Structure 1
């Protein structure tokens, strides 16, 4: 049985650490109305929890994520969250992308920012493929 720890949970986001596979799953629920402040609160909660665990990557399930991330929020993420991820040893980010074009585009733009480029990022339509990529050895990143 997989060792899992719920790191953070609110109406919009559930973050679970898979200890054996050394990654965090961020699952956006699509519940309720997400605001900039609630997005910041969730991202900060997950990033702080990541500092306390030996995760190497984060798999972000955004299939129900319908919140376009504004340019200001993208900048905030890169100035505040990415440094915490890097301090925690997070080197990979895998995203399951939503159908919503604007939400998908804003996610890709956020991860294209200069600081976020310190992490290797890939986009997927299949959870199993995303997980396999996330947990494979560093030599096989590409």
Structure 2
């Protein structure tokens, strides 16, 4: 994946959330073999997160890759906006993520 492709996919995600007004989003990153650069992390924090929050997203569950470096880059990207946008959790299976979505949010 290139930086351009990362941004294109991120903007498709934004379009989806804006169209369907999803309060809970599950993102399966187990096949992601891409390191999110600090520049891309900042771009996501300033461009992607405000738009999906405005569209109603409040929770995001990541199903993470077992590759520690990739996982850390994803977590680092999410920490760029920690406390500002939505609740974030990392899981190693989808069933756990759905259970988390079923629990009430602590606002």
Contact 1:75 1:110 in 2 (8 A): yes
Contact 1:82 1:116 in 2 (8 A): no
One of 70, 82, 95 as aligned partner of 2:37: 70
Between Structure 1 and Structure 2, the one with more helix by share is 2
Between Structure 1 and Structure 2, the one with more strand by share is 1
Q: Aligned residue pairs: how many?
A: 107
TM-score (norm 2): 0.91
Query: Which residue pairs with 2:57 in the alignment?
Result: 90
The unaligned stretches of length 5 or more in structure 1 are 1-33
SS across alignment from 1:123: strand
SS across alignment from 2:9: helix
Q: Which has the higher contact order (CA 8 A, sep 6+)?
A: 2
Higher CA-based Rg? 1
1:118 aligns with 2:75: no
Query: Which residue pairs with 1:108 in the alignment?
Result: 75
One of 46, 49, 52 as aligned partner of 1:79: 46
1:136 aligns with 2:99: no
Query: Which residue pairs with 1:127 in the alignment?
Result: 94
TM-score (norm 1): 0.70
Question: How far apart in 2 are the matches of 1:46 and 1:116?
Answer: 21
